[in-house]
Amino acid sequence: MVDIAMIEAANARLGGRARRTPLLSSPFLDEIAGRRLFVKAECLQHSGSFKFRGGWSAVSGLDPVVRNKGVIAFSSGNHAQGVALAARMHGVAAVIVMPSDAPKLKIDNTRAFGAEVVLYHREREDRDEIGSRLSKERGLTLVRPFDEPLVIAGQGTTGLEIAVQAAEEDIGSAEVLVPCGGGGLTSGIALALEARSPSLKVRPCEPKGFDDTTRSLASGRIERNATLLGSICDAIITPQPGNITFPIMQRLCGPGIAVTDKEAMDAVALAFTRLKIVIEPGGAVALAAALFHGSQIAGNAVIVVASGGNVDGHVFMQALDGYAGRLVTN
Amino acid sequence: MVDIAMIEAANARLGGRARRTPLLSSPFLDEIAGRRLFVKAECLQHSGSFKFRGGWSAVSGLDPVVRNKGVIAFSSGNHAQGVALAARMHGVAAVIVMPSDAPKLKIDNTRAFGAEVVLYHREREDRDEIGSRLSKERGLTLVRPFDEPLVIAGQGTTGLEIAVQAAEEDIGSAEVLVPCGGGGLTSGIALALEARSPSLKVRPCEPKGFDDTTRSLASGRIERNATLLGSICDAIITPQPGNITFPIMQRLCGPGIAVTDKEAMDAVALAFTRLKIVIEPGGAVALAAALFHGSQIAGNAVIVVASGGNVDGHVFMQALDGYAGRLVTN
C-alpha cells in the first residue's frame, strides 16, 4: 500500500521545497548517551515540523480538480500547520480541526497560514467524525494525519535523507529513534531505511502512559491509550496506532521506548544548551530515550529524530528552569 | 594579506569537519522584514558559533612542531570554544584567557573542551598583554580572535557557503548583514563574496553604543568604543576593528547598522518562535537589523548571519519573556 517507490515519488514532488534538515551532534550529548548521538533536526523543517513533508505530499498528490475544492485536516497542531502551509503554497483553501487544548502557538500559526480553524474537545468529541462531516458538507478532501499512504510517503522522505546523512557520518549500523504518535513518521522512515539503509533499525518512542504503539508492538495487536489528556507531549498523543502504519511498524521496527514527561523536558533543555535548536516536548521523546534509556539501545551510534519545535514560550522556559534547577541542587 | 586562495585553503583544511549550516527562512519573518529574509544559522556550527571555523583554520595551519607546544587564545567565549575544540581535535593543549563577566555557559564549555581557562577583568586589564605574556612564558602560539589572516580565512568559509546557498535560493543581489565585533567574520565573508558572488554586499551590524566599526567606516579611520561594559551582546564587544580587518571592510562593506539591546533580544525571541533556533543576543544583531531597520536596507531579499547560540538560559528566558510581555500589552 505504501512502498519505496511512493516515497521516491513524494520526494520528487517535494524537490526543492522541503528543507534537507541537518544531522546535528555534540560531544557533550555523546558523553551523556554513552555513544555517538546524531539528531535529525526536523524542527528546522518548514512549518516547524516534519509534517510539512506529508502535508505537501498529500496536497500535491491530489487531482488538481479535486484539490481546488480545498482540503481539510484534523490535528493537534503540527499536521495542521504542515497541511495549511502546503495548501497555501498550492493556492487552495484549508479547514483545520484542532483540539481546543492545542498550544496557542500552533493554533495561531495555522490561522496565520490562512487556514480556517475549527476547535473541538479532545476527549468529549471524535475528531474523525467532525472531519468526515465537514469534508462531506463542503466537498473538501480529508488529509488524514497518519493513516494515509500519501502522508506516510511524504514523512518517509525524512528516512531517505537519514540514509544519506548516516553514510556521510560513517554510521554503519545504528538504531533510529523516532517520536511516535499515530506512526506516520515512524512507518515512513522504516520503509525508506528498509530499502536504502537496512542496517539502520527504527524504534518508536512515546511518552509513558501514552505508549499505545509500544504496547501494540509487544502484544501483537493494536492497543489504545487509556486517556488522551495529561501529557506535555501534545504532538504525539493519539488514540492508537493506525491500521496502515501498525503493520508496517510491526514488520520493520524494534520494540518501543517510553520516556517520562520530565525526561522529555530535560531533553528539550539539553537540545537548547548543546545543539542550539528548539524542540517541543513531544518532538524530544526520541532524544530523551537516547540520553536517559541507553541500556535499552544497541550499538556505538544512535540516530534520533527531533520531529518538531512548535512549543509555547512558557513551556520552553519551564524546561530550561527545571533543568537549571536540577543542576544547582544536584 | 588575506585573499580568496587562503579562504579556499582553509575550506580544504576544514573539509568535512565544519558543518555546512542551513539557510533558514519563515514567511512570518519575511512579513516583518518586508522582504525575503534568509538566516545563515551559524549557531548550529560545532562549538555553537562560526568561531570553530577560524579556530580550526588557525590550529590546522600551524607547523606541527609549533602546534604541539600548544595554543593560547583570548576571547569573551565563542572564539575560546572554537579554539579549545579545534585544539582538542588536534590533540594539543589550549590556554584560554576570558573576561570574568563572560557567560557562565561559555566559560564552562571552554573548560569542558579541555582548555585551561585564565580569567581577567574586561576594563581593568588588557587581554592582549596577558595573552602575549602567557604565550611567551609557555611557548604557546597565540591565536588572535580576529586580526589574524588564518582566522579571517577560516571565517570566510561561511561566505563560500552563503554564495552557493544564495544561488540555490535564486537570490540575485542582496545585502548580507553580519554581526561584527573585531571584524573577522565580516571581512572574511566580504572577501569570499567579492570573489564568488559580487552582487552580495556585506553590511556590519553592531549594538548601539558599541558601534566602533560603524563609526570607523563612516569616518574613514579606526574609532574606539567609549566603554566595553553594559551590553547584553557580549559576543561582539571589542575595543575597535582590527588593523587587518578594517581595511578589508572599508574596501568591501556598505555602512554599518546599529541596533538596541531590546531589538537584539526581540530577534532572539523571534528566531525561537519562527526558526526554532537558539541565537545569543550578540549573534542576533544582524537579524534585528533586518527585522527592525528595514529602511536602511536595499533590495527584495536580505541575508543575515546568526553568528552564535551560546546563551545562558536565564538570558534566553528574559528574551522570550520580554517579547511575550510586549505582545500582550500592545
The string of pLDDT tens digits covering residues A297-319 is 999 999 999 999 999 999 999 99
Could you tell me if residue A104 is left (phi over 0), alpha (psi between -120 and 50 degrees) or otherwise beta?
alpha
> Has residue B329 got a pLDDT over 50?
no
Contact A126, A51 (CB under 8 A): no
Residue B169 to chain A, least CA–CA distance (Å): 9
List of E strands, chain A: 23-24, 36-41, 71-74, 94-99, 116-120, 141-142, 174-179, 200-207, 257-259, 301-306
Of A28, A113, A276, nearest to B309 by CB-CB distance is A276
Which of B20, B112, B313 lies nearest to residue A28, judging by beta carbons? B112
Beta pairing, strands B36-41 & B23-24 = antiparallel
Nearest CA in chain A to B17: A169
- pLDDT, tens digit (0-9, with 9 covering 90-100), for B175-188: 999 999 999 999 99
Query: What residues are paired with A296 via a beta bridge?
Result: none
pLDDT given for residue A76 in this prediction: 74
Q: Categorize the per-residue pLDDT at B22 as very low, low, confident or very high, splitting at 50, 70 and 90.
A: very high
Which residue of B lies nearest to A324 if distances are taken between CA atoms?
B313
B19 contacts on A by Cβ (under 8 Å): 22, 24
Mark out the alpha helices in B51-170 (DSSP H runs).
Answer: 51-61, 64-67, 78-90, 104-112, 127-138, 149-168
Say which DSSP state B68 is in. Answer: T
pLDDT greater than 90 at residue A167: yes
pTM of the model: 0.95
Residue B133 in this model has a pLDDT that exceeds 80: yes
Measured between alpha carbons, how far is A258 from B25 in angstroms, rounded to an integer? Answer: 33
Q: Quick one: angle between helices B149-168 and B51-61, nearest 10?
A: 130
pLDDT at A324 over 60: yes
Nearest to A278 among B109, B278, B310 (CB): B278
- pLDDT score of B330: 36
C-alpha closest to that of B109 among B86, B87, B78? B78
Least confident stretch, A75-84, A170-179, B21-30, B200-209: A75-84
Strand partners, B49: B308
Does the pLDDT at position A126 exceed 70?
yes
Residue B327 pLDDT grade (very low, low, confident, very high; cuts 50, 70, 90): low
Show which residues on chain A lie within 8 Å of chain B, measured between beta carbons.
Answer: 19-22, 24, 27-28, 41, 43-44, 48, 85, 105, 109, 112-113, 269, 272-273, 275-279, 309, 313-314, 316-317, 320-321, 323-324
- What three-state secondary structure class fits A1? coil
Closest CA–CA distance from residue B66 to any residue of chain A (Å): 27
Beta bridge partners of A178: A204
Q: A316, B320: Cβ pair inside 8 Å?
A: yes
User: In this complex, do A320 and B313 lie within 8 Å of one another by their Cβ atoms?
Assistant: yes
Average pLDDT, chain A: 94
Does position A164 have pLDDT exceeding 50, yes or no?
yes
Sheet holding A257-259, edge to edge: A23-24, A36-41, A301-306, A174-179, A200-207, A257-259
> What is the three-class DSSP state of B78?
helix
What is d(CA A283, CA B237) in angstroms, rounded to the nearest whole number? 36
Residue A330 has pLDDT above 60, yes or no: no
List pLDDT tens digits, range A211-258: 999 999 999 999 999 988 889 998 899 899 999 999 999 999 999 999
Neighbours of B220 (CB within 10 A): 8
How far is the C-alpha of A329 from the C-alpha of B177, rounded, in Å? 42
Q: Can you give the pLDDT at residue A329? A: 43
Does the distance separating the beta carbons of A22 and B44 come in below 8 Å? yes
Contact B272 A313 (CB under 8 A): yes
CB contacts, 8 Å: B275 with chain A: 44
Residue A88's Cβ-count burial label (10 Å; 0-12, 13-18, 19+) is middle
CA distance B223 to chain A (A): 34
Q: Do the chains contact at A44 and B21, CB–CB below 8 Å? A: no
- Neighbouring-strand partners of residue A74: A97
Amino acid at site B68:
N
DSSP character at residue B45: S
Contact state of B44 with A276 under an 8 Å Cβ cutoff = yes
On whether the CB atoms of residues A313 and B272 are closer than 8 A, the answer is yes
pLDDT higher than 50, residue B104: yes
**Residue A327 confidence (pLDDT):** 59
Contact between chains at A320 and B324 (C-beta distance less than 8 A): no
Sort out which chain B residues have CB atoms less than 8 A from A275's CB and list them.
Answer: 44
> Measured between CB atoms, which of A19, A27, A277 is closest to B278?
A277
Interface probe, candidates A21, A24, A42, A273, chain B, greatest B C-beta count within 10 A: A273
Q: List Cβ neighbours of B145 (8 Å cut-off, separation of 6 or more).
A: B51, B54, B73, B74, B75, B79, B151, B181, B182, B184, B238
Whether the Cβ atoms of residue A188 and residue A95 lie closer than 8 Å to each other: no
Residue A175: helix, strand or coil by DSSP? strand
| Interchain contact, A277 vs B44, CB within 8 Å | yes
Shortest Cα–Cα distance, A272 to chain B (Å): 7
Nearest CA to CA, how far is B178 from chain A (Å)? 19
Cα A270 from Cα B45, distance rounded (Å): 16
With bands split at pLDDT 50, 70 and 90, how would you rate the model's confidence at B262? very high
- Is the pLDDT at B224 greater than 90? The verdict is yes
Give the HSE-up count for residue B144: Cα atoms under 13 Å, Cβ half-sphere: 20
- More reliable by pLDDT, B293 or A100: B293
Q: What are the structural domains of chain A? A: 4-50+149-329 (3.40.50.1100), 51-142 (3.40.50.1100)
pLDDT at position A92 is 97
Determine the angle formed by the axes of helices A313-329 and B313-329, rounding to 10 degrees: 150
A274/chain B closest Cα distance in angstroms: 8
Q: Give B136→chain A minimum CA distance, Å.
A: 31
Q: Determine, for residues A48 and B21 on separate chains, whether the beta-carbon distance falls below 8 Å.
A: no
Distance CA B110, CA A27 (A): 12
Mean per-residue pLDDT, B229-233? 89
Residues B246-251: contacts with CB under 8 Å, at least 24 apart? B246/B183, B246/B213, B246/B216, B246/B222, B248/B2, B248/B152, B248/B183, B248/B187, B248/B190, B248/B191, B249/B180, B249/B183, B249/B186, B249/B187, B249/B190, B249/B202, B249/B204, B249/B213, B249/B217, B250/B216, B250/B217, B250/B220
pLDDT at residue number A99: 87
The answer to whether the CB atoms of A112 and B317 lie below 8 A apart is no
Residue A286: pLDDT band with limits 50, 70, 90? very high
- Closest approach of A321 to chain B, Cα-based (Å): 8
